[in-house]
A and B are shown apart, each in its own frame.
Chain A
Amino acid sequence: ETGVTQTPRHLVMGMTNKKSLKCEQHLGHNAMYWYKQSAKKPLELMFVYNFKEQTENNSVPSRFSPECPNSSHLFLHLHTLQPEDSALYLCASSQDSQDQPQHFGDGTRLSIL
């Protein structure tokens, strides 16, 4: 029970498909994050939202489009992805305070055919 729920857990899609990843947090946090985790690579921060406003876009390709309608929900819209986009996508949330840890969901394992 992490308090951060990600759906779906697994997703297989073709390069021309459009799909969305969903993240929901039940912790009352005001900051939410998307990370990409690939084998043998450091965890890559993609986007940060603070009080629903995007505060960081870490040079992510436009085929990834985030949406944060409120402080509890975060989406990652995907379109025309590439095989190298196959990875585990992790959502996290935290209080907007420097000393507070992030709470992670269990991720969506994405495979691009």
Chain B
Amino acid sequence: AQSVAQPEDQVNVAEGNPLTVKCTYSVSGNPYLFWYVQYPNRGLQFLLKYITGDNLVKGSYGFEAEFNKSQTSFHLKKPSALVSDSALYFCAVRAGGYQKVTFGTGTKLQVIP
């Protein structure tokens, strides 16, 4: 079985400050990890993914994520938050050889002007 945990329902950060949205996972074998963002009244949009290689993955809109195998984590980060980054963020995992993707419960990011 595979699972994803996003321990924070909401993260508040001041505009211009760095942000981190946490994600931990559990999977048998090598994980394929994804981050998605959802704006109000929209579907999920793909931000970035980790498959293999460098532990620091860069994605859209200045976001990046750090894969940590020993801590089974894949935290989403951005050096300087924008008000327009306010949205719902989902972490997702897929185990190798298994088509189903498991999504986390989502973290609401609020960037305060």
Contacts and interface: CB of A to CB of B under 8 A. Distances in A.
A55 interface: yes
A56 interface: yes
A106 B42 contact: yes
A3 B104 CA distance: 24
B97 interface: yes
Interface in B8-64: 32, 34, 36, 41-46, 49, 51
A90 B41 CA distance: 11
A42 B105 contact: yes
A56 B90 contact: no
Interface string B85-100: 0000010001011111
Contacts of A90: 43-44
The bracket for how many chain A residues form the interface is 20 to 34
A43 B46 contact: no
Contacts of B32: 98-99
Interface in A28-52: 31, 41-43, 45, 48, 50
Interface in A1-55: 2, 4, 6, 31, 41-43, 45, 48, 50, 55
A106 to B, nearest CB: 5
A5 to B, nearest CB: 10
A45 B44 CA distance: 14
Given A42-B105, A43-B90, A104 B100 contact: no
Contacts of B36: 101, 104
A98 B97 contact: yes
Contact of B99 (A56, A105, A106): A56
A17 B39 CA distance: 30
A99 B94 CA distance: 8
Interface of B: 32, 34, 36, 41-46, 49, 51, 90, 94, 96-101, 103-106
10 contacts: A4-B43, A6-B43, A56-B99, A90-B44, A98-B94, A101-B49, A102-B44, A102-B46, A105-B43, A106-B41
